[in-house]
Amino acid sequence: MKKRYLLIVFFSLFLVSCEQSLIHKVGPAETRAYPAFTEWKIPGTFIPKPIDVVGLGDSLTEGIGDELKKGGYFGRVTEAMNDWAGVEEVHVENIAKKGRRSDQLIKQLEKPGVQEELKKADIILFTIGGNDIMKVVKRNLFKLKVEPFYDELKQFENRLDEIFSILRGLNGDAIIIVGGLYNPFSIISAEPTELEEIMNDWNEAIEVQTVLDDRACFVPVNDLFYSNENMVYHTDFFHPNAKGYVQMADRYIERIDECDLYKLSDGNLDM
């Protein structure tokens, strides 16, 4: 009996010693310095959605001169949008028209039906300014001077600012993509002319306007139509042909990528 009692006391002391030893080695539980799981945000492209694209402006966006009838650069660019991640389908409304000037575009933007289309647009593409320049050319055809082009440029800048103000008043979220101007008279002579410098200044005015808007992108195309060595002009020697529009579309897609429209669209589109 005494022997059994001594064994019980011995094992009790042994267990207490082990418990204290384990407590000493393990110590108190430490607080985790970082969460076990990081927050995961579902990307905007996870669930594809339809997008609405509106075309505005003049004959370039209308696609005049495209003998293949594929809608010029606008038709080709919007077709390519179907392959963007996050895009289920593309709804297109092209209301550009041959001969339209910037003052006429402003009047068009005042129409209720046009405004409804723009309010729901995700992307707006337009070209404008070529007919404003041609108005100066026609008015001073036999006595072309530099001054009238710059007088008109001042008015064009004001109208362009008004165009952007109207668009943003209707739709603050849409991505606006504006094409630049080119000099069709370069097919007559590849030598630099004053008109080439004038065209550069008009393009700069358009680009500045897109820079001032944090959801816009400028697409330069003047170099694509410098002379007609690559046969990019329509038979009217003013508008692009299908080959010219393909080059324009490629440039648009290239610039859209450089402008990072994925970022501008809050991650809802991916090219």
pLDDT in tens, 117-154: 999 999 999 999 999 999 999 888 778 789 999 999 99
* Structure confidence at residue 9 as a pLDDT band (50, 70, 90): very low
**Residue 215 near residue 264, CB atoms below 8 Å:** yes
Helix (H) or strand (E) holding 56: strand 49-57
Question: Distance between CA 20 and CA 227 in Å, rounded?
Answer: 92
Beta strands in 61-180 (DSSP E): 87-94, 123-127, 175-179
Q: Which two tokens stand for residue 183?
A: 């000099």
* Structure confidence at residue 263 as a pLDDT band (50, 70, 90): low
**Residue 252 near residue 262, CB atoms below 8 Å:** no
Neighbours of 228 (CB within 10 A): 16
DSSP secondary structure code for residue 36 in this structure: S
End-to-end CA distance of the chain: 88
CA separation, residue 196 to residues 41, 90, 150, 192, 226 (Å): 49, 37, 13, 6, 10
Q: Which two tokens stand for residue 267?
A: 């991650």
Tell me the Ramachandran region of residue 27: left when phi exceeds 0, alpha when psi lies from -120 to 50, beta otherwise: left
CA separation, residue 97 to residues 158, 161, 240, 249 (Å): 21, 20, 15, 18
Nearest CA to 133 among 81, 169, 185, 61? 185
Question: Distance between CA 141 and CA 99 in Å, rounded?
Answer: 18
Q: Which of 38-42, 190-194, 228-232, 257-261 has the lowest mean pLDDT?
A: 38-42
**Residue 102 near residue 32, CB atoms below 8 Å:** no
Neighbours of 5 (CB within 10 A): 9
Q: What is the mean pLDDT of the chain?
A: 84
- Give the global pTM: 0.80
pLDDT in tens, 64-96: 999 999 999 999 999 999 998 889 999 999 999
> Domain 49-264 classified CATH 3.40.50.1110?
yes
Q: Which of 55-64, 89-98, 225-234 has the lowest mean pLDDT?
A: 225-234
49-57 β-sheet, strand order: 87-94, 49-57, 123-127, 175-179, 216-219
What secondary structure does DSSP assign to 212-239, as a single string?
A: HSTTEEEE--GGGGSSSTT--B-TTSSS
Nearest CA to 136 among 111, 178, 101? 101
DSSP secondary structure code for residue 40 in this structure: -
